[in-house]
Structure 1
Amino acid sequence: MSVGRTIKAVAWSFFGIRKGSESQEDLGRLNPLHVIVVAIVAVGLFVAGLIAFVNWVAG
């Protein structure tokens, strides 16, 4: 199991573009707990980035 593969799967899901065959392969290989943790971290980084950007523009 690869952390990089989990990050890649979560990143592609953020954009909503993923091949069906790769998605099915990920369902069988990836640990759901790892996917959830990586997704929560990614959302946190995204929100922090948006907040920093708004503060920079408004500041």
Structure 2
Amino acid sequence: MSDNGGRRSSFMQSMRAVMWSFLGVRKRRDLEADATHLNPLHVIVAALICTAIFIGVLIFVVRLVVG
């Protein structure tokens, strides 16, 4: 079984995995653990949230620099 007692991971674990993936600093064993434990729906929602935050930060920085 899995190391977390067979339970699926929480949404916050999915958010953490997506944020680390955005930075590109994932260890292979963490990536393999994510592939077996994370809920795919949580990962998709977390990725959409992180993408929206990233775009919002970019727009804020551009407006700060330009205006």
What TM-score, normalized by structure 1, do the two folds share? 0.90
The TM-score with structure 2 as length reference comes to: 0.81
Task: Please tell me whether residue 3 in structure 1 is matched to residue 3 in structure 2.
Answer: no
What amino acid maps onto 2:29 in structure 1?
S
Unaligned runs of 5+ in 2: 1-8
Greater gyration radius: 2
C-alpha RMSD of matched pairs (Å): 0.9
Runs of 4+ that moved beyond 3 A: none
Report how many aligned residue pairs link the two structures: 59
Partner in structure 2 of residue 34 of structure 1? 42
Structure 1: which 5+ residue stretches go unaligned? none
